[in-house]
Amino acid sequence: MGTKNIILNALKKYIAIGLVGITVTDRYAGVCPVRGSSMSPTFNPSLGSFTDDYVFLEKFCLDKYRFSHGDVVIFSSPTSYNERSLKRIVAMEGDYISNVNGAIKVPEGHCWVEGDNSASSVDSRSFGAIPLGLIHGRVTHIIWPPQRIGKVDRRIPQDGLSL
């Protein structure tokens, strides 16, 4: 009888820890890998590296869609909801962005995202402004590999943006 109680108590603790962990990663923060070179040199600067960057994703910004120019965000692709992308916000709702078709006004409830490495990035230049509701969170820090641990800078590219 004693062994059965020990196993049952351990199982209860693991289930409780698991539920707390799922709640935290779903509502408050998480860790995500960054794959590809569309955000190089900010993320994955070495093409020959065997490890991807891993980033800390904070989700408190989702409360009232509090984003600003230069934030790096992870979002569901508007063309394939199963795919997640990581890009930088370069324009918010009401801003005008210049592209090959002239100046475009970013609609209400949307933002314009672009990769830091425009040569290998599929971003708003391809699929247009994205709804803020597709954003999963804001990237604040690189947490792996150890030599790259640090805060992610909020950089605002000025080319193409006309406020």
Closest CA to 86 of 77, 95, 78: 77
List pLDDT tens digits, range 1-26: 577 788 888 888 878 776 666 666 66
Instruction: Kindly name the residue from 37, 59, 87, 124 that is annotated as catalytic.
Output: 87
How is residue 31 written in tokens? 């860790």
DSSP symbol at 134: G
The better pLDDT of the pair 16, 48 is held by 16
Q: For this structure, is 87 an active site residue?
A: yes
Choosing from 38, 40, 85, 124, the catalytic residue is 38
- pLDDT beyond 80 at 41: yes
Instruction: Fill in the DSSP letter of residue 132.
Output: G
CATH topology (fold) of 30-162? Umud Fragment, subunit A (2.10.109)
Catalytic site includes residue 38: yes
d(CA 149, CA 105): 36
For residue 81, the tally of other CB atoms under 10 A from its CB is: 9
Residue 97, classified by CB atoms within 10 Å of its CB into exposed (0-12), middle (13-18) or buried (19+), is buried
Each residue's pLDDT tens digit, 101-156? 788 899 999 999 999 988 888 999 889 999 999 999 999 999 988 888 899 988 77
pLDDT score at 148: 87
Sorted by where each begins, the domain ranges of the chain are: 30-162
CB 138 within 8 A of CB 61: yes
**Model confidence at 56: pLDDT above 80:** yes
Does pLDDT of 162 surpass 50? no
- As a whole number of angstroms, the distance between CA 81 and CA 103 comes to 27
Confidence (pLDDT) at 23? 62
Both tokens assigned to 118: 């425009």
Q: Identify the pLDDT of residue 139.
A: 94
User: Residue 48 corresponds to which tokens in the numbers above?
Assistant: 């020959």
pLDDT of residue 15: 80
pLDDT tens sequence across 67-95: 889 999 999 988 888 899 999 999 999 99
Cα gap 21→102, rounded to integer Å = 47
